Amino acid sequence: MILLRILLGICILALALAMLVFFIFAGLVLPIWMVIHCANSSASAKRKTWWILAMLLLWPLGAWAYAFRTVKQPLLRWGLVAGGLATLGLAAVALTQPKALDQDAQPVAAPGAAAPAPSQE
């Protein structure tokens, strides 16, 4: 039983480390890399300007879109799609989680339910 807990802890730590590396790459490395790639590309100045603005304003989604648009290998292209969708999914989950109640906050009644009685402390 102890060995199982140790293995589970190692797996959780490895998953957390993999997620950290992925988010550092997705949120920092790839966008900077794609801005530099776009600036050094042979595209017209107008097209470069629009792509760089999109990448800066839609950080990191603009970089994913630019990378998908410029990458020619199908496997790498669909890997970018999967990574972008995973990023969007995890961001959506993180943004929709309810915030923890403070110690002093009063509980809120569900719609149509009776209001909770005030606590007597």
Question: Among 3-7, 9-13, 116-120, whose mean pLDDT is lowest?
Answer: 116-120
The rounded radius of gyration (Å) of the Cα atoms in the chain is: 22
Q: Is residue 4 part of a domain?
A: no
Q: Quote the domain boundaries for residue 48.
A: 26-95
How many independent structural domains does the chain possess?
Answer: 1
Quote the Cα angle for 44-68-48, to 5°.
20
Q: Is residue 20 part of a domain?
A: no
Q: Is residue 109 part of a domain?
A: no
Q: Is residue 46 part of a domain?
A: yes
Q: Please report the pLDDT score of residue 68 as a whole number.
A: 82
pLDDT at 13 over 90: no
- Percent of the chain clearing pLDDT 70 (strictly above): 79
Q: Please report the pLDDT score of residue 112 as a whole number.
A: 65
Give Cβ neighbours of residue 106 (< 8 Å, ≥ 6 apart).
Answer: 116, 118, 119
Q: Is residue 55 part of a domain?
A: yes
pTM of the model: 0.57
Q: Is residue 11 part of a domain?
A: no
Q: What is the DSSP letter of 29?
A: I
The encoded tokens of residue 103 equal 């110690």
pLDDT at 18 over 90: no
